[in-house]
Structure 1
Amino acid sequence: HDFGDGKGEIRGAYGSHFIRLKTPGHRGIGIHGTHDPASIGTRATEGCVRLNNSDLLELVKKYVYVGMPVVILTSEADSAVPCRFPAAVKAGPRLMAQTE
């Protein structure tokens, strides 16, 4: 992946797997590992969920299957960070109907 930081394409940027999420209106959002473990816990993604590579591997081996529903909830830590979409934060999470 090329993060557009002038360093060019980084091999293994997503770890061993990229679990693509069906996100209406967006492409390329998923759950993946990282080439930079120090970035875990920071807001360094382009909308994805990053895991330590060992945690990602365990998730893939034990739990993930094609078509499984994924629910991502906000945490108390997320509430402390200013959001570009304050109306969405006030409204809280919504469940979306799965169409496929």
Structure 2
Amino acid sequence: MAEVEFSYDPPEISEEGDTVTWTWRVVNNLPEAAEKVVLKHVIRPEIPITSVTGPSEIVGQGVRSQWETLAAGETAEGQIIAKLPEDVSGSMQISGRVTWKKS
């Protein structure tokens, strides 16, 4: 079944080891436009998000990306950049959830 889907590229750690960048993509695989598309991103453990690109904003400890309309077959992308605390250890995970309405 066709739907609106999203994916993340593997994270990129800066040469200095002080920031991590995730590149994300959302694609409308529906045969028609998708409206009110919202992609919510959450990083665990929580780390300071320093900047975002695309139609995104930092909301609390997460990021919200949204579009009024994504045409059939349209792809959008952006990045989330976060600061790595000096005492961070272990693994980190980014997850997302996308919602939309069919036009």
* TM-score (normalizing by structure 1): 0.25
Which of the pair is proportionally richer in helix?
Answer: 1
Which of the pair is proportionally richer in strand?
Answer: 2
RCO higher in structure (CA 8 A, sep ≥6): 2
* TM-score (normalizing by structure 2): 0.25
